[in-house]
Every structure is written in structure tokens, then in C-alpha cells.
Structure 1
Amino acid sequence: MPALELIAAGLLGSQLLDAKYHIKDDFLLTQKVLTNLIPFFYQCYKGRASYWYWFEKAAAKYPQNTAVSFPRPKKNPPPLSFDAEGNKIYDDQFTLENYTYQELFDMVLRFSHILKYEYGITSKDTIAVSCMNKPLFIIIWLSLWNIGALPAFLNFNTKDKPLVHCLKISKASQVLIDPDCADPVRETEDRIHQELPEVKLRYINEPELLKVLADKSRPKHRAPDETRRPDDGDHSPACLIYTSGTTGLPKSAIMSWRKAFMASKFFGYIMKIDSSSTVLTAMPLYHSTAAMLGVCPALLVGACVSVSQKFSATSFWTQAKLSNATHVQYVGEVCRYLLNSKPHPDQQKHNVSIAYGNGLRPDIWTNFKERFHIKAIGEFYASTESPIATTNLQYGEFGVGACRKYGSLINLLLSFTQVLVKMDPEDENEIWRNPDTGYATKADRNEPGELLMKILNASDPEKTFQGYYGNKSATSSKIVTDVFKKGDAWFRTGDLLKMDEDGLLYFVDRLGDTFRWKSENVSATEVENELMGSKSIKQSVVVGVKVPNHEGRAGFAVIEPIDDFADSSKHSEMLNKISEHVLKSLPKYAVPQFVKITEQIEASHNHKVPKNQYKNQKLPKGENGQDTIYWLHNNKYEELTQDAWSGIMNGKSKL
């Protein structure tokens, strides 16, 4: 064979080998990790663990780059106009606001001056932030990091008892409130003043504040380094992000400086975010997906983060076009909403090449890429509190549906720190242990198992897994020990995943009492407690049930009436009491969409209700077609008839 042909064959062979084993990608990622971790830990050693220093460096390096772009919805938008083909034009519905790194940095310093000298905030404070997606959120956030205070990002839908609980566990001294989402706080004011009289509520006049922050004559405050929590280590809290769990009320997950750094440096690198990128997120900034994986990677490298105030399928691609987005964030529900929407005139006029997020189901994965001309999907797996994330930047056809795709080298390294374990067939929430050894067993290929992540320092777990702020019992409940040997410790993700023959990892389902609906984690226990608060039922069971053509699981409540409402003639009155109570006390996403009334909820011998029997509830009338089930329609529970079900299936009625 001639020399040139031998060389060509060799090159082709190496390309095929690399395509299968990702040798080059693994090498570059490993190199990236090794060359960046040492400087980070050295910076922590020098008392500069805070992300603030990375943002400050980016602002100095890229002063004229756009840092934040905001398609602000007009309060009184003009009527929609039409193009030559008769398509609606949505551009006029927004005013595009852009802030360079220099402008953002100066505004942050001016607001820091206000926070320190007018609000009296210091590095000893935890400050709750209730704000919609807008530049104001990022300004508040970075200003608190400048001062050294600890931000606690409130879900602005939270109200009443859960809101008070969030403020209590974080020990917040003040709440900074965006006027556009202030109603839940206002409705809870009396309770806050009664139970937490020391907490100050500060309603921000956004238009006036933005004018002040743009005024170059206003004083600025760049906090001295020695006041910015110099004793913080890599595991110290950078911010608090609330997550639902099985305890019934939100928990404040600790986002450490290490997680903020790793998300910025390594996740951003994997998703190809650089100084020329614009990341559009319509995900709420109070969640880790948008905050840690959207804002932080962008602001570290001089990229632009474009925030959408609220997700809208009718204007999403318009906002992507206006902000010149190269990346968009998603959760699976968003992708399905966009696919189910009518063709949009801007869906092919954008420059988005990568969409990244979690929960994109395999059945719509390829259709989403093709319809919206997306080159790559960046699917990841992580929970708010988990020590590390897994990623799959998927081009072409290989890896569709996977949440982890690496080459042989990284898979080998991860095999020591991420494992799937067999579950007890009698109790899906318990890890199966070999009766002879007492240790767990790894799940076989294509067998669902709970994903565990190794806690490197088992004697001091909090340096690997920070857990929940002010909740040691909840933190401890996520750690399991003596899994494969005496004295080891692992973080329980609470999720079932499976691995195929190629080493690809796929999400299967959530364990326990938490399910996902409307892009939010819903605590079944919290919903059950609030149902009891209606004072019309003896007990309830809440699970998430699958609904065709809908992402996640919808809340399904099985209720046992008190004696006063046991008679069927009283069911309507009882359902009205329930709907009135839960609509007042629960966020919209947590309100049960379906209700079934039963004479008695059976419990097992250990007084636990076996919930699995309800998770596969067949809608609309049960397996035998005889069940009476109610659905939430116009804020009231009505019988789920076949006609009503048809309306849900064809999209005319929305859950």
C-alpha cells in the first residue's frame, strides 16, 4: 500500500477510534480540570474563595463586552404587526436593555454603597432576595457578594408558612423585594412581622433605583478584601437556593464557592461558553440551573447572560433573536411547550447553536434539534444539593437521551466516584444490601439503580457535601455510609438512573416523595400537610402521575373525608373547601391537579401508606373505567369526564 494511503488509513482509523472513545475530548477536559483547580485552591488559601474576584477580573478584562441583556416586556405594548407572509411580529413587545461589564460593575458598586450605608448590610448578614428574572436580580446578587453577605434566593411564588420557614432557616435579616413579584410577601407580611419581627422587608422601587445606579455622580463602594469573608474555604456557602424535599417544607441547599467555580469553569467549558457567547435563560434565577449554570459561567469568561423575565412559547425565539443568543437553557417541559406550539416566524432567525439543560426526553430530543436548527444538546444531570453534575454535549445521533456521555478515560475515573446501586425490590427507596456481606451491589448494565456520589472525606463529609443550611438532620439523611466498605460515605441523589453498554447514563425516575411538575420540585409531604389544613379530610396521599403529552408528573391526591363529608352529597362542598385552602397556601405548581375520594386509605403493617399503588393511576376513569376523579378547572375541582380529558389531551384545556 502506498505511503499516502497508509497515512490516510491511519488518520481515518484514529478518527473512528476518537469518535467512539472520545480520547481527545477526555484529554482536553482532564487538562482543563488539572490546570484550573490548583489556582482555585490557592486563591481559597489566600482568602479569596469568593466568585466576586472572578467577576471583577472579567469586568476589567472585557469592559466593553455586553454582560447582561434583557428583553424587557413593554407594559403597554403596541398591537402585533405582521410581516409580508402574514406572520406575527413580536419584536415591538420588548425593549432591549444592554449593560456592558463596565456599566454592570459600576452599578453593582453603587448599589453596594446603598446596601452598606443605607441598609446597614455587612458580611455577617444573610439577605433573602425575592426577584423576577431581570438585571435587578443580578445587580442585587453581585452587590451582596461584593459586601460578603450571603444571598438566599427565594422562590417568589412562596408565601404564608413556607415563606416564613424559608426566612427562619436561613436566618435572613432583610428581604429585598422586586415590586413585580411582591404579592406573596405582602400577603404574608402580618405573619412575618409576628413571627420574625426583626426581619426588615424592603420593597425596591426598580425604575427609580436603576436611574440612581446609572448616575455617574453617585458614590461607589468596593468592599475591602479583609471584610469579604476572608476565612471562607472552598466549601463555604456562596448562596442559598431553596429546594423541596420529603420533609414537607423547603430546604436551603448550600451552593459553595467550589460549586460556583466548577460550574463556571468546567461546565461552561463543556458547553462551549466563551467571551463571544450569549446565554439566554428563561429559567428562574432563584434555581441553580439558571444561577449556577447560566449566569456564573457567562460572567466568568466575559460572555453575555440574557435573562427572560418569564418563559413564553410565543416569544421565546423572538427574545433569542433580539439578544443574539448562542446558547439557550431549558428544562424538558420547555422543550415540549416549544414543540407543541405553532410554527414561529423567529424559530429560524436566531443564532442559537447549543441548547442545554435537563429533562429533555428521548422521544422529542431529535425533533427539537431539527425543528429549531439546534446543532447540539447539552443535557446534564444534577440536583441542587448534589456535589457534582454529569454532562452530555450531544451532536449527531449518538448519545440521544443520555445525561452523561464521556470517553473511556473519564468514565474510568468517574467509576470510582459515581455508581449506580441495586434497589430493594420490596422497597424502591431502600438500597439493597447483600445479606452475607451487608454491603451494596452495583446495578447491572441497563438496570435502574440509585445514583450515589462519593464523599471523598468520609470523616468530614461537609467539605464534599455541604447539604442544607441550618438543617443537619436533612443533610445527614442524604448521606449513606458503609456502602462498599466499612467507613465509606456517599451522597444519595434520590434518583434512579441506568447505564448502557456504551457507558452512557440515562435518567429514569425520582425516588421517594418528591416529583417534578411545571419545572419545579413538588414535596408530596408538604402538599399532604396543606390538604389536612383544609380541615375536611382524615388523611391524604399525594403522588405524581404521568399525563400524556406533559413533562414531569402532575399532582394526584387521594383523600379520605372526615365523617361530616363522608356522604357523597357532601363531596362538592368538601372539594370547594380543599381548593380554596390549597390555592391560598400552596404555590400554583404544587396544587394537586387531580383528586380521588376514597372511603379509607389502607396502611401497611408498619403504618406506612404504600404509595406505589397510586403512582400508576390510569386517567381519566381508572383501569376499570369506573373511577370518579376530579380535576382542577377554573380554580375548582370538577369531575374529570371523558370530554374534559379530551380537552386536556388536545391542548384546549391546560393543567
Structure 2
Amino acid sequence: MINTKRVIKIGILTLIYLVGLIVDPFLKFSSLDNTKSYKTSKSNAIIDHLISIRILEDIHIIPYFLKSILSYVYALNKTQQFTNWYVFENQVSNNPDKLFMKFPKNNTNEEFEEYTYKQAHEIILRLSGYLTTDTIDCKPGQIIGLYYQNNPMFIFLWYALWQIGCIPAFLNYNIQGESLKHCITIGNIEKVFVDPRINQNFSYEGTLKNVQVINVNEDELLVTVLKNPNATMFFQKHELRTPKSIKDFDPALLIFTSGTTGLPKSAVISWRKASIGCALFGRIYHMEESGCNVFTAMPLYHSTAALLGICAVISQGGAFTIVSKFSASQFWKQVYFSKATHIQYVGEICRYLLNTPQQNTTYEREHDVKIAYGNGLRDTIWVDFKNRFNIPVIGEFYASTEAPFATTSIQFGNELGVGACKSYGPFVTLFLSLQQCLIRTDPEDPSVPYRNSNGFCEKTKANEPGELLMKIFFPKNPKTSFQGYLGNEKATESKILRDVFKKGDAYYRSGDLIKEDTESRWYFVDRLGDTFRWKSENCSTQEVENCIMTDPLFKKEDSYVVECCVVGLKIQGYEGRCGYAILQRNQDIKTNITELEILNGLLPRLNLSLPKYSMPLFVKFVDEIEHTNNHKIKKVGYRNENLPKGHNGTDVIYFLKNYKQYVELTPLEYEKIMNGETKL
């Protein structure tokens, strides 16, 4: 029997594909060369209307998507050239002399090292030769750690490992001690390359069996290998790099994320996500345009910079500029001299930049940036950020490292779609409705999905916050859609919700609250569960809780503290949520030292075991931590704490002032935080 609805959908997509092939090259709006004066005249009223209803972006996306899917399926089933190495290799063949990468030469940020695709390719092949020598001995299938800051060597090592057939694992260079050892262990990492600039950070407790730690001598390597035309180039055999046993849902990368287990988890980034997913993302944000150059100051160990920055722009044959770390004072100077057309942001970066004094308007306003894209740009500063820095287009997206899909929004004007993380035309919206949805949550505990009398979930109504779910198309084999966490089946399964709308179905749980307006745009509301985001980093509440409760001071039977709850606390004027710890007193124990002395006695352990961004900035002692009837801590109330004196106006709350010592959060101290005199 003919499925009429399916035939109609195929017909619509085919029509859009054909129209797009004809129309898109002639649409002025899609050219980044014209976005600086994007507002159209009255004579272009039709174009203006099509932009406002987002039809033109559908035309820009759908033909490319359909064509790319067909090419990808062919590569997957016929040539076995579906991995990212071949994406890069194709760009080298097609555009050998095009700019590939830029990196500042010195601290002036006015001159940049530059590499073309051909130059980068040759360096990567020479480096592959070095990595396959008996001394290093990288082999296909091995998982290799990179403990590296942003610099060209990170990129060269990454792609050399792909060329050999290895799986890179990007380690957060802010972590050390138990967390670092844990990452190396759960990631099955056999070798770790350590950046000489931060090798003092690479420390861990005890020993790591069968792990080779390689402290890279970059100066020597540059002279003898990377820039030596006589150095041996190594070309891996295709059947060893991508044997027929490799599937497109197998790992391309490992990226470590904070989770509710108390320690980082190794999120699997599949070849499908890194290849076709990033290629589509690059198209959505117009990285195919001539002269495209994506600037990122975000760490490459995060998926945002690595996948949605580097992989996305390479898929389109564009260039990227990386800098070692973000600097609010140098950001626009770096952008200006790099001639970047795109910049990446997170909400915190936008706020930092807005808070800088307006001094050099040449750098801020006369740059070449056409699109700023990222996530977490609050609607309260969206327009101010766009206007002050002369940015024609904002591209806000929603994504997480392990999620099967992402949502995107591209906003050209100052009114429609401000704050949206998903905004498409009607055709793409209809297609994505098959993959993504928002469901109602339990009013008393938003982390629990609401189920009706039939035991099934319900979709939200317009402007009602709900948890974002993404469909797993083969529930009996979920890794084909959601690859989860390497070596952690329990954590992987915890992200899968089953029997959602019918028996046997399965969806990936985002753990985030989203709401949808009447125009099908989505807006991020808040994070659920036991993570919070601070200083552009995801933080595990349980990791902080474990750190506190395993302190020798609190492990004793006569400990003053018997329970700990950590949440993310919203602070007015700051992006994300900072750490807030609630400590339950042991009322049977009396002590001669004050609670403030107890906290400052705990501080050395916190400094040793936690990254700065995970530190509990605020702490309160209570007689009893509130629990639900099923013994879960009522975290919602704590997440909405009233500073400086709590909801009843009489609580004593302590504050980690300048990250040096805890002090009482008096109204005067709180006023200093609010007026910016004391920084968080």
C-alpha cells in the first residue's frame, strides 16, 4: 500500500531541493559579503518577508543536507571514506593553497602564523611518521590522550592521529589528581601527549599502569620533523585506517564531560556526528562562503570549539584562527588582525566583552565579523552585544557533547528570535519534529518526567517549559543514535528514557528545560539534575559533594558535618550558576571552632582537588537538609536561594571572597558583589 503522507513529504523535499539548487546561489542574503548592510530596501519586500518567515534559510539548508546525506551514504557503504580524515584530505585535494589555520605569532596579536591546507597536510604526514616510530609507536585503534592548550601542535597531533587510525581523547588541562587519573583510566588511554607549556599541571595520585606519558619537545620537533622537508612522511593504508569493521557510530573522539557520578565521563563523539553533523552545522552558519575564517578562543578540549568550530569549518573548506586562551582585553584586537568572519562565544564571554571599557572602536567595530555563534547569550544583553560590536548575525544554538542532535538559530535582525536556540522555517521545523520534542516534567521535581494515567509522557504546550528529548530510532540498539559514555553503561542508560509515547520507544534525555513559543522557536530555560555551568564549564555537583565529604575532617564519626548538598546558584548579572554548598550539622556534636574556621580549614583540600570554576563560592550550614518523600534532596529551593540572608532573612551564608578565604556574606559584602567591586 502506498503511504500517501510519505510520498507528499518526499515530493516537498524534492521540490525544495530543486528550487534551492537554482535559487540559493543568487540569493544576496546568503552571501556574507553583504551582511554588514543586511537590511533590505522596500524594493526587496518579498525577500524581507521570506526572511521573516525563515523560508530562505530552509532553501539554503535542505538541498545541501539531501546532497550531503547521499554522498555520505555512498562513502559509508562503497568507499569506506566517511571519517573526518577524508573530509580534510578532500579539501587538501580541492583547495591546496587555501588558508587552513592562523595562530598569533607573539603577544602583540597583530601577526599570525599561517598554514595552507597543503602545508598543514604535509606537516601532519611528517608528524605521522614520527608518531609511528618505535619510540612512540602509535597504532590504529589506540586511544591517545591530548593534554594540550590551544595551539597549532594540538591540531597537527589531532589530525595525525586520525591519519594513523587512532582515536584522540581530549583531556581538560584544568584537571589533575584523581580526576585526571580517572579520565585516563576510563578512557582506556594508552599514551598521553603533554603540552610543554602546562606540563606542571599534569599530576595525578599513584601510578598509571601501561600508560606512556610523552612530554612533547616542540622546539626540537618543529625543526627535525614538522618543518623539515626531508623528514619522512607516513601514509597510513586505507584498510588499516578505516577497516570494514568500523561503523559510523563508532568513536571518532573522546571528550570528557562533568556528570552526576562525581567524576568526569568519557563522551563518545561518533564519526557520524563529527562528519555529517558538523558539515550540516557549517552550512547552517554559512561557512561555505569565500574567505570564511572562524575565530575561537574557547578550549579545544570542548566539543564547541573542536567540533562546531574546527570540524565544521574544515567541512566547508574554510579557515580557522585559534588563540591559546580567552582574553577580554585582547579579543577584538585578535579578531581584527586575524580577519575573522565568524567568532565563537559562550554567554559568559559576551558578558565579559560588554563589561570592557569602550576604548578602541577600530578593533571593536571595523572588524570583518559577519556571524557570532555559540550558546548561552542571554536575551537581556543580546541586542546590546550585537549593536556595540557591529555584528550583523547572531547564531545561537543548543547542543551538548554527548547529545545525538543539536538545534540552531540564525537571527539577522534585532527583533525576531532574540534569545532563541532553535529557529527554522516551516519545512526544517516539520522534519526536526520527528526527532526532537519537549515533554512535561513533574511540578514538584522537574528532573522527573510527568507521566499521565496511561503511563506515557505528554508534550508541552506553547511557552510551557519542558525537558528536551531526542529520538533514538533503534531502541534495541541505542548506540546507533546515542553513543553514550565509554565504559559506563549505567551512565549511558541513565540518559535514555523508554516507553515515552508508546511501548518500546526510546529517547535521549537532554537534562535541560526548554520552552517553545507560538512561532515554533525554542528558548533555553535551565539545566536539570546535578550539574551547573560556571565560567564556561560544566560542573558536577556530586564531584564537589564528594570532595567535601571525603575530607578527613568530615569522615570521622564525630564529624561536625553529616550531609552535603551542592547546587548551582544564580547570581544577578552573571551567566550560568556558581557552586553553592549546603552542609548539615551533626547536632549531637559540639565544637570549639567556628563554622567559618571549619570552612577555611577545608579550603586547602578544595583548592587541591577541584578546578577553580567548581569551587563552592557560597556555603550555608543547616540543621537539616530538606528531602522529598522518596528521600531525594529538594534541590530546587536551594537553587533559588535568596542572598545575602536566605529566604527568611536571618540565615548566615558564607562567601569565598576572591577565591582566597571564606567570609560571612553580610549585606555590605553582597552589595560589593552586585556593584562589581568584588568579582566572582
Same-fold status (TM-score > 0.5): yes
Distance in 2 (CA, whole Å) between partners of 1:580 and 1:622 is 27
2:54 to 22, 36, 43: 22
User: Matched residue of 2:89: which SS?
Assistant: helix
Q: Indicate conservation of the 8 Å contact 2:138/2:166, yes or no.
A: yes
SS in 1 for 2:281: helix
TM-score (ref. length: structure 1): 0.92
Which residue of structure 2 lines up, in the alignment, with residue 638 of structure 1?
663
Question: Given the superposition, is the C-alpha separation of residues 564 and 570 from structure 1 closer, same or farther in structure 2, using an over 3 Å criterion?
Answer: farther
Number of the residue aligned with 2:449: 431
Q: Equivalent residue for 2:310?
A: 295
User: Deviation per CA, 1:630-653, whole angstroms, max 9, x where unpaired?
Assistant: 111242211222332222222232
Q: Choose which of 121, 125, 130 in structure 2 pairs with 1:109.
A: 125
> Could you tell me how far apart the structure 2 residues matched to 1:515 and 1:498 are?
19
**Does 1:317 find its partner at 2:332?**
yes
The match for 1:414 among 422, 426, 432 is: 432
CA contact (8 A) 1:544 1:554 kept: yes
**Hey, what's the Cα distance between the residues in 2 that align with 1:539 and 1:94?**
53
8 Å contact 1:420–1:443 — kept in the other structure? Answer: yes
Correspondence for 1:58 among 74, 91, 94: 91
**Structure 2 residue 275 is the aligned partner of structure 1 residue 261:** yes
What is the distance in 2 between the residues matched to 1:169 and 1:310?
27
SS of the residue 1:261 aligns to: helix
> What is the CA–CA distance in structure 1 between the aligned matches of 2:594 and 2:534, rounded to whole Å?
30
Q: Which moved more, 1:127-136 or 1:229-238?
A: 229-238
1:104 Cα deviation after fit: 1.0
Q: Counterpart of 1:220?
A: 233
**2:146 alignment partner in structure 1:** 129
Question: Residue 201 of structure 1 is aligned with which of 192, 208, 213?
Answer: 213
Distance in 2 separating the partners of 1:94 and 1:175 = 33
Amino acid in structure 2 at the alignment position of 1:282: A
CA distance in 2, matches of 1:333, 1:204: 32
CA distance in 2, matches of 1:342, 1:12: 38
Alignment partner of 1:307 out of 322, 332, 342: 322
> Percent identical across equivalent pairs?
45
Q: Write the letter of the residue equivalent to 2:132.
A: K
CA distance in 1, matches of 2:247, 2:499: 28
Deviation track 1:259-280 (CA, whole Å, cap 9, x = no partner) reads: 1113432110111112511100
Cα–Cα, structure 1 residues 93 and 377, in superposed 2: closer, same or farther, change >3 Å?
A: closer
Q: Find the aligned partners of 2:389 and 2:399 in 1 and give their Cα distance.
A: 25
Residue type of the partner of 2:651? Answer: D
Whole-Å Cα distance in 2 between the matches of residues 568 and 144 of structure 1? 58
- Aligned residues of 1:479 and 1:492 also touching (Cα < 8 A): yes
- Mean Cα deviation higher: 125-134 or 27-36: 27-36
| Deviation by residue 1:504-539 (Cα, 9 ceiling, x = unmatched) | 110000111111111011111111000112233322
Aligned match for 2:264, one of 229, 250, 254: 250
Match of 1:403 in 2: 421
| Counterpart for residue 575 of structure 1 | 599
**Structure 2 residue 311 is matched with structure 1 residue 279:** no
Question: Can you list the C-alpha shifts for 1:8-57, whole angstroms capped at 9, x where unaligned?
Answer: xx997854652343233213311111111111122122322210011011
1:204 offset after TM fit, Å?
0.9
> Cα distance 1:95–1:180, how it changes in 2: closer, same or farther (>3 A)?
farther
- Spell out, residue by residue over 1:192-222, the C-alpha distance to the aligned partner (whole angstroms, 9 max, x if none): x2xx221111111222222331111111112
Secondary structure of 2:606 counterpart: helix
User: How far apart, in 2, do the equivalents of 1:422 and 1:361 lie?
Assistant: 24
Against the structure 1 CA distance between its residues 592 and 63, is the aligned structure 2 distance closer, same or farther, given a 3 Å change threshold? same
For 1:510, the aligned partner's letter is R
1:598 aligns with 2:622: yes
CA shift digits 1:80-112 (9 cap, x unpaired): xxxxxxxxxxxx356521112122111111111
* In structure 2, distance between residues paired with 1:564 and 1:590: 31
Return the letter of the residue paired with 2:341.
Answer: T
Q: Deviations over 1:214-235 (max 9, x none)?
A: 1111111121111103232221
Equivalence for 2:635:
611
Q: Is 2:111–2:337's contact at 8 Å kept on the other side of the alignment?
A: no
Letter in structure 2 aligned against 1:197: K
Letter in 2 for 1:599: D
Q: Aligned pair 1:32/2:64, yes or no? A: yes
Task: Please state how far the C-alpha of 1:301 moved relative to its aligned partner.
Answer: 2.5
Residues 459 and 14 from structure 1, CA distance in 2 versus in 1: closer, same or farther, beyond 3 angstroms? farther
Whether 1:229 and 2:246 are equivalent positions in the alignment is no
Q: Give the deviation of 1:73 after TM superposition.
A: 4.5
Distance 2:341 2:277 in 1: 18
| Structure 2 CA distance for aligned equivalents of residues 322 and 237 of structure 1 | 36
Listed one character per residue, the Cα deviations across residues 564-611 of structure 1 (whole Å, up to 9, x for unaligned) are 985473323311222111110011111111111223324344322111
1:622 counterpart = 2:635: no
Distance (whole Å) between structure 2 residues aligned to residue 229 and residue 526 of structure 1 = 37
Query: Distance in 2 between the 1:320 and 1:293 partners?
Result: 18
Secondary structure of 2:509's counterpart equals: strand
Question: In the alignment, what sits opposite 2:75?
Answer: 43
Q: Which amino acid aligns with 1:255?
A: I
Query: How far apart, CA to CA, are the structure 2 residues paired with 1:615 and 1:600?
Result: 16
Aligned-partner residue type, residue 102 of structure 2: S
Tell me the distance in 1 between the aligned counterparts of 2:542 and 2:530: 7
TM-score, structure 2 as length reference: 0.89
Instruction: Mark the runs of 5 or more structure 2 residues left unpaired by the alignment.
Output: 1-41, 555-560
Change (3 A) 1:349 1:69: same
Report if aligned partners of 1:566, 1:599 keep a CA contact under 8 Å in 2: no
SS in 2 for 1:138: helix
Q: How many residues align?
A: 623
> Does the CA contact (< 8 Å) of 1:454 and 1:491 recur in 2?
yes
Residue number in structure 1 paired with 2:507: 490
Shift of 1:302: 2.5
* Residues 618, 654 of structure 2: 8 Å contact kept: yes
Distance in 2 between the 1:600 and 1:482 partners? Answer: 37
- Residue type matched to 2:328 in 1? A
Is the alpha carbon distance of 1:36 and 1:331 closer, same or farther for their aligned partners in structure 2, counting shifts above 3 Å?
same
Specify the code of the residue in structure 2 equivalent to 1:500. D
- Decide whether the 8 Å contact of 2:321 with 2:338 is kept in 1: yes
Task: Give me the CA root mean square deviation.
Answer: 1.8
1:400 alignment partner, SS class? coil
Residue number in structure 1 paired with 2:379: 362
What is the CA distance between 1:157 and its match in structure 2? Answer: 0.7
Q: Which runs of 5+ in 1 are unaligned?
A: 1-9, 75-91
| 3-state SS of 1:601 partner | coil
Match of 1:70 in 2: 103
Asked whether the 8 Å contact 2:82–2:275 carries over to 1, the reply is no
SS in 1 for 2:374: strand
Give, in whole Å, the separation in 2 of the partners of 1:31 and 1:355: 24
| Distance verdict in 2 for CA 1:210–1:647, change over 3 Å | farther
- 1:435-470 CA-to-partner distances (Å, cap 9, x unmatched) read 1x2111110000000011111122211111111111
Contact between 2:386 and 2:392, CA under 8 Å: does it hold in 1? yes
Aligned to 1:77: none
Q: Map 1:311-390; keep pairs closer than 5 Å.
A: 311-345=326-360, 346-390=363-407
Aligned AA (1:641): T
Secondary structure at the aligned position of 1:412 is classed as helix
| Superposed displacement of residue 485, structure 1 | 1.1
Distance 1:565 1:288, change over 3 A: farther
Hey, what does 2:27 align to over in structure 1? none
Shift of 1:63: 1.9
